[in-house]
Amino acid sequence: METVEKIKQQIAEHPILLYMKGSPKLPSCGFSSQASQALMACGQPFAYVDILQNPDIRAELPKYADWPTFPQLWVEGELIGGCDIIMEMYQKGELQELIKETAERNPQTDSE
């Protein structure tokens, strides 16, 4: 599968998806750590892709998304942004609302 197709499929399959360095429990950079902490604090399940384990995605996603850095938060197929935007939204209470509404619209059939 082409890398861009794989990215499109991941974004389509997961209503809340974080591309990050490492995993939420073991992040490999401070920005990914902050972003995943904010998402976990929203209390809803979310998917993630460790770009350090997926160098093809790490190379292609910035071009596809037109966003140069990681982490990247995608909600219902739309790029929300990176760490600064995630943290700003979290501090304003906007992220919690967005994640809650998205989770309600997309109930998880089983956890990933």
Give dist(CA 53, CA 37) in Å, integer: 20
Distance linking the first and last C-alpha atoms of the chain: 21
Q: Tell me whether residue 58 is annotated as binding.
A: yes
Q: Are 43 and 102 in contact (CB under 8 A)?
A: no
Q: Tell me whether residue 42 is annotated as binding.
A: no
Q: Which amino acid is located at 40 in the chain?
A: M
Question: Binding site for [2Fe-2S] cluster: residue ranges?
Answer: 29
Binding residues: 21, 29, 58, 70, 83-84
Q: Which residues are annotated as a binding site for glutathione?
A: 21, 58, 70, 83-84
